[in-house]
Structure 1
């Protein structure tokens, strides 16, 4: 077989051993039987529990800071900021200008000022909780 395939006899022997049949993942690794093959399998695509927990905690903290900081804004600023920055499909300046009866430029100015107020409030809240370096 080795000659016919153009490989060494050792490769044929190794392949025969590998093709010798399916092995159970519950089969013991050693004679003592303390560990099984499945104990050594790892899911490289899965996020570790520690990483997932840390990400969830950070997301929760950030959401809390955002909700707290949003209280510093007026209703109009909240609405404009939410529509322009916090939605997957943001509303245009033109649409908001029509709702409020002002120019697109004025809506843009309100959005910028509201975003600056929001950043300042979030930073202050984060510093208050010792979440950032001062």
Structure 2
């Protein structure tokens, strides 16, 4: 189904607004229309019916994807991942259950976007358990304001999400971290400014060795890892992760003449191959 449905695509970052506007041209289905289309798709494998179900819910994906812009990921890619979730929802939707597709699809759309965010958001290196993922995506909404959580609030949230209090505290630090001026610039505050108490540890033997190892990993190690990839995979990884202006999935799809989903698959496989190559070097 995903290869047959002709959906509006985001050709480039500059066309995101045009894409969003295009999703609004598709009418919202009535309950009777939705039931009829879903029945045709599941009983007769009518792909045109499935296409109409997907098109009528594209605006839902845009709305949900907008809520994840705070993670610094391209809006176009968030929408693309959400559309994959929407198509999975249409494929699994049973109209006889008495639930509207919009309610059923929200779970699948968010699930795909969650996976994309966890794969790509650099601050979160480990979020593998269900509880950790729940913490990652719900901590902001559970905080009552911008102030730091109190011990009692940390304990309450850890109980709600079934994680350790120290995991809540660590995740809050990652999500709310901000820059701190090294020099206060005020004579009265100089004594408590970071510059007054931070030591220069750059020349400690262990730090020097760690820095050399990191430089090797990011320089020669990275080039060696790129070298094990085929030309197309290497170009995709470089365009997505090493370019000053990273390309979107749809831009690369147009360049290589394949679907955006195929580009995502190639990227995922290439990144896994590189990780396996770099892991021994980082040990």
TM-score range, shorter chain: 0.5 to 0.7
Report whether the alignment pairs 1:89 with 2:248. no
Describe the shift of the 1:87–1:43 C-alpha distance in structure 2 as closer, same or farther (beyond 3 A).
Answer: farther
Deviations 1:3-45 (A, max 9, x none): xxxxxxxxxxxxxxxxxxxxxxxxxxxxxxxxxxxxxxx8736
Instruction: Specify the alignment match of 2:198 in structure 1.
Output: 44
2:212 to 57, 61, 67: 57
2:261 to 105, 110, 125: 105
- Looking at structure 1, the residues matched to 243 and 199 of structure 2 have their Cα atoms a distance apart, in angstroms, of 29
TM-score scaled by length of structure 2: 0.27
- Displacement of 1:48 after TM fit? 2.9
Q: From the two aligned structures, give the one with the greater helix fraction.
A: 2
TM-score scaled by length of structure 1: 0.53
Instruction: Specify the alignment match of 2:222 in structure 1.
Output: 66
CA RMSD after TM alignment: 2.5
More moved, 97-106 vs 86-95: 86-95
Moved over 6 A (4+): none
More moved, 51-60 vs 63-72: 51-60
Describe the shift of the 1:120–1:44 C-alpha distance in structure 2 as closer, same or farther (beyond 3 A).
Answer: closer
**What is the DSSP-based 3-state SS (H/G/I as helix, E as strand, rest coil) of the residue aligned with 1:81?**
helix
- Looking at structure 2, the residues matched to 56 and 47 of structure 1 have their Cα atoms a distance apart, in angstroms, of 12
The structure whose Rg is larger is 1
Structure 2 spans left out of the alignment, 5+ residues: 1-195
